[in-house]
Structure 1
Amino acid sequence: MDLELRHLKTIRTIADAGSLTKAAARLGLAQPALSAQLKRIERALGGRLFERGRFGVRATALGEFVLDRARVVLPAISELQQEAVRFGHAGDRMAGFRIGGTHGPLLGGLVDRLATAYPGVPVTTFTTWSEREIAASVAAGRLDFALVGACGESPAPEPERLTWREIAVDPVFVMLAENHPLAGRREIGLGELAAEAWADVPGDGCFADCFTLACARAGFTPVRVYETDTSSCIHLVQVGRAAGLCRATLPTTPGMVTRPLAGTPLTWRHLVGWHPGTPAADSAPEVVAQARAAHAEAAARSESYSAWLADRRSTADPGPPGAVDYP
């Protein structure tokens, strides 16, 4: 068997994960399949790369040698691929808008506005729960723009390679069944929901940790958190199985309401990113402007968010930065 780049990536993933089970999950493989693959790699390299023990795996001397080389080769190959893509498009004008985004109403609004403003220009989308995957695709030249979110003040992904602009900062709201005892309240204290199970969408940022910390400050530990897609979160809320966490711009659907959390313990920043060395950089000001307009439209469609903003204006409290003004 010839050694390939994917084999080096496998070795690095095992070392980073510290166990075959965790590495298999990251690679999307069954643990026996990864074990068999590792044995083939070890035969090709002439010896054991990892020692297995009760507490996971540890690199052997040969494993450390291979890992040292992999840590040089893999970034170099990745950089070569990215530079090649950018070089190939360096003299091109943008033929369309390739946008990567996560869940939420903002991506649809941006696509609609770009398609309206540029009727002859194709707009394509790629969606995933992983902000890091989207940012990496933009850095590699496979996408033109990333439309992602970040919790609180956490940094955007790929900060060294991508340019980022903040679109807006929203409070995180709670979704409740319309017949929930607190559904009629204008805002709800997080601690008042201590007995609830929770529903939230997945992601690879720090939101889950920030939510747990906010609950601790409110004096409780979440009973249970269902991490699933948006439609399933809404269903769990509608049937009274859970309270849901959502962006303030989430449209309401029959059987549920959205309400602000008192004191705004959690916020969500909307960001647009691009690589400054690609043709996308020339279109970035327009994409940022359209994204901000799409956010303003989404905020205006949300009755609970509009009421929250009106309350902040009346009390001279502007709320989270960017929630009212769009620089």
Structure 2
Amino acid sequence: MDLELRHLKIVRAVADAGSLTRAATVLGLTQPALSTQLKRIERALDGPLFVRGREGVRATALGELVLERARVVLPAVSELQEDAVRFARQGTVGYRLGGTHGPLLGGLVDRIVRQEPGVPVTTYTSWSEGEVAGGVAAGRLDFALVGVCGESTPPGPGRLAWREVARDPVHVMLAEDHPLAHRPWIELAELAAEAWTDVPGDGCFGDCFAAACVRAGFTPACVYETDTASCVHLVQVGRAVGLCRATFPVTPGLVTRPLAGSPLVWRHLLGWHPAARAAARAAAVLQHARDAHTEALARSSAAAVATAQVPAARP
């Protein structure tokens, strides 16, 4: 049997997982099937790669050698594939945009279409910032419009160039008849007894929110993670309060208010691959994204309270 890339991926998965059971789950295989594959690989390499024990598996000297080479070969092949796809698509005309939930992607599409009528624009959306960034790295997308919490690093591979579109304080959504809805701003601690709702994502926002609540002296008793429409519904009917960006549009039945001290901040980012043909258009797309943010902010609930003086957080 000749050694193949898939075999190296199996060896690396077993080493990373520390057990055949966990590795089988990661690889989408049954544990017996993975054991059979590993035995074939070991026969092809003429020696055992792992020592099995109660606490999992440990690489042998031969296994360490194979892992050392695999950690060089696998990223190199992945990079080769990404570069090949990007090269093959260098002649593609148009814009392939990826983004997460929120109004900015639609605003960016609108501005590009207005400026360049007839030029094809395609979009791809995902809850995963990492997935969108990976699409740009792999050459499937030209630009990623995503966001990160505070000063967190951008998602995905480090091969992408990232520029900040804007940064906004995170607001809270309340039902329009909520006891605090008339206030121009709200202390996070005043919402300690509330149930919360938010959209999913693979960034650190959930951890940042939990940390902000701890600093405010409480732990959220309940957080409903669901899609945007369901979040809005739960807020409108008074089942929860929600977190949203300052660009959240005016919506019947709810209001948005800033949190005192801006304990949570959202940075909108635009990413692209510097070696891709699309990089030549990055400055123009970045300006479109910034203009789309300005327009979204002007249409948002936040615009109604933008002039309110929001105090610093209480010590």
TM-score, normalised to structure 2's length? Answer: 0.87
Name the structure 2 match of 1:310: 307
Aligned partners of 1:232 and 1:6: how far apart in 2?
A: 41
SS in structure 2 of the partner of residue 310 of structure 1: coil
Query: Which residues of 2 match residues 1-327 of structure 1 at below 5 A?
Result: 4-18=4-18, 29=28, 33-46=29-42, 47=48, 49=50, 51=52, 53=54, 57-61=56-60, 63-90=63-90, 92=91, 94-158=92-156, 160-303=158-301, 305-311=302-308
Task: For residue 22 of structure 1, report the CA deviation from its aligned partner.
Answer: 6.0
Residue 3 of structure 1: CA displacement? 5.5
- CA distance 1:158–1:229, shift in 2 (3 Å): same
* Greater displacement, 147-156 / 197-206: 197-206
The residue type paired with residue 258 of structure 2 is: P
Cα distance in structure 2, aligned partners of 1:45 and 1:269: 46
In structure 2, what is the Cα distance between the partners aligned to 1:158 and 1:128?
14
2:45 is matched with none
CA distance in 2, matches of 1:241, 1:49: 52
Displacement of 1:125 after TM fit? 1.0
In structure 1, the residue corresponding to 2:242 is in which secondary structure?
Answer: strand
Whole-Å separation in 2 of the counterparts to 1:226 and 1:70? 41
3-state SS, counterpart of residue 76 of structure 1: helix
**Comparing 114-123 and 292-301, the one that deviates more:** 114-123
Does structure 2 conserve the Cα–Cα contact (< 8 Å) formed by 1:2 and 1:44?
Answer: no
Tell me how far 1:132 sits from its aligned partner: 1.6
Letter in 2 for 1:59: R
- For structure 1, the 5+ residue unaligned runs are 318-327
The residue type equivalent to 2:52 in the other structure is: E
Residue 37 to residue 246, structure 1, CA distance change in 2 (3 Å): farther
Q: CA deviation at 1:43?
A: 2.5
| Structure 1 letter corresponding to 2:121 | V
Query: d(CA) in 2 for partners of 1:112 and 1:235?
Result: 27
Change (3 A) 1:228 1:5: farther
Q: Deviations over 1:271-296 (max 9, x none)?
A: 11111111101111111111111111
Cα distance change, pair 10–186 in 1 and its aligned pair in 2 (3 A): farther
TM-superposed deviation, 1:209: 1.4
Counterpart contact for 2:175–2:235, Cα < 8 Å: yes
Query: How far did residue 247 of structure 1 move?
Result: 0.8
CA distance in 1, matches of 2:84, 2:229: 39
Cα distance in 1 for residues equivalent to 2:126 and 2:160: 19
Shift of 1:147: 0.4
TM-score (norm 1): 0.84
Distance 1:103 1:24 in 2: 32
- What's the C-alpha RMSD, in Å, of the aligned pairs? 2.5
Amino acid across the alignment from 1:51: R
Contact 1:3/1:41 (<8 A) preserved:
no
Separation in 1, partners of 2:162, 2:89: 21
Instruction: Tell whether the 8 Å contact from 2:7 to 2:41 is kept in structure 1 after alignment.
Output: no
Distance (Å, rounded) in 2 between the aligned partners of 1:104 and 1:200? 13
Amino acid aligned to 2:78: S
> How many angstroms apart in 1 are the aligned matches of 2:230 and 2:26?
24
Counterpart of 1:320? none
Cα separation, partners in 2 of 1:229 and 1:52, compared to 1, 3 Å = farther
CA distances 1:216-247 after superposition (whole Å, capped 9, x unpaired): 11011111222222122222222322211111
Looking at CA atoms only, which structure, 1 or 2, has the larger radius of gyration?
2
Q: CA deviation at 1:257?
A: 1.9
Counterparts in 2 of 1:75 and 1:182: CA distance versus 1, 3 Å: same
Deviation of 1:252 (Å): 3.5
Percent identity (aligned): 63
What secondary structure does 1:136 align onto? helix
TM superposition outliers: structure 1 runs of 4+ over 6 Å: none
- Take 2:255 and 2:228, find their aligned partners in 1: how far apart are those partners? 15
1:14 Cα deviation from its structure 2 partner:
4.5
Q: 1:263 to 1:87 in 2, by over 3 A?
A: same
Unaligned 5+ runs, structure 2: 43-47
Partner Cα distance (2:249, 2:257) in 1: 12
Count of equivalent residues = 305
